[in-house]
Amino acid sequence: MSEKNQSLFRYRLYGSPVSYYTAKVQSYLRYKALPFDLIRVNNKIAETVIKPATGGWRVIPVLYGSNTGYIQDSSVIIDALESLHQDVPVTPPGLKQQVVSALFELLGDDWLVFPAMHYRWNFKRYNLPHILKAFGQSRTPHWPKPIRWMGGIKNALKFGVVPRQMLGINPTNIPALEKWTTQLLDQLNAHFSLHDYLLGGRACHGDFSLYGPLHAHLASDPFPKEHLIKSRQHLQNWLTRMTVTPATTGDWLPADEVPATLIPILQWQGRDQLPYLKKVMAQTADWLSKNSKAEILPRFIGKTSYGIGSAVGTRLCAPYSQWMYQRVMLYIDRAETDPRHELETWLKQHGIAFDPNQPSHPIVFRASKVRRQ
Ligand SMILES: N[C@@H](CCC(=O)N[C@@H](CS)C(=O)NCC(=O)O)C(=O)O
Residue 4 has pLDDT above 60, yes or no: no
Domains plus CATH for the chain? 9-84 (3.40.30.10), 95-117+172-372 (no CATH), 123-162 (no CATH)
* Predicted local confidence at residue 309, as pLDDT: 87
- How far, in Å, CA of 333 to CA of 29, rounded? 28
- C-alpha 151 – ligand 1 centre gap (Å): 20
* Tens of pLDDT, residues 129-151: 999 999 999 999 999 999 999 99
Region of poorest pLDDT, from 90-94, 112-116, 207-211, 353-357: 353-357
Q: Quick check: 187 and 265 in contact, CB under 8 A?
A: yes
Atom 11 of ligand 1 has which residue's CA nearest to it?
59
* Predicted local confidence at residue 5, as pLDDT: 52
Q: pLDDT band at residue 370, thresholds of 50, 70 and 90? A: very high
Atom index in ligand 1 nearest the CA of residue 77 equals 20
Atom 16 of ligand 1 has which residue's CA nearest to it?
59
Atom index in ligand 1 nearest the CA of residue 59 equals 12
Phi/psi at 61 (nearest 5 deg)?
-90, 155
Residue 86: CB partners within 8 Å, gap ≥ 6? none
* Predicted local confidence at residue 247, as pLDDT: 67
* Predicted local confidence at residue 310, as pLDDT: 86
Q: Ligand 1 pocket: which of 45, 59, 321 to mutate (most atoms <8 Å of CB)?
A: 59
Residues paired with residue 62 on neighbouring β-strands, in sequence order = 14, 72
- C-alpha 19 – ligand 1 centre gap (Å): 8
Region of poorest pLDDT, from 5-19, 197-211, 247-261: 5-19
**What rounded mean pLDDT belongs to the chain?**
95
* Tens of pLDDT, residues 279-300: 999 999 999 999 999 999 999 9
pTM of the model: 0.96
- How far, in Å, CA of 100 to CA of 260, rounded? 12
* Residue 310 burial class via C-beta count within 10 angstroms: exposed 0-12, middle 13-18, buried 19 and up: exposed
- C-alpha 193 – ligand 1 centre gap (Å): 31
- How far, in Å, CA of 323 to CA of 106, rounded? 10
**74 ligand 1 Cβ < 6 A:** yes
- C-alpha 251 – ligand 1 centre gap (Å): 31
- How far, in Å, CA of 346 to CA of 340, rounded? 10
Atom 10 of ligand 1 has which residue's CA nearest to it?
19
Cβ of 139: how many Cβ atoms within 10 Å? 22
- C-alpha 195 – ligand 1 centre gap (Å): 30
**75 ligand 1 Cβ < 6 A:** yes
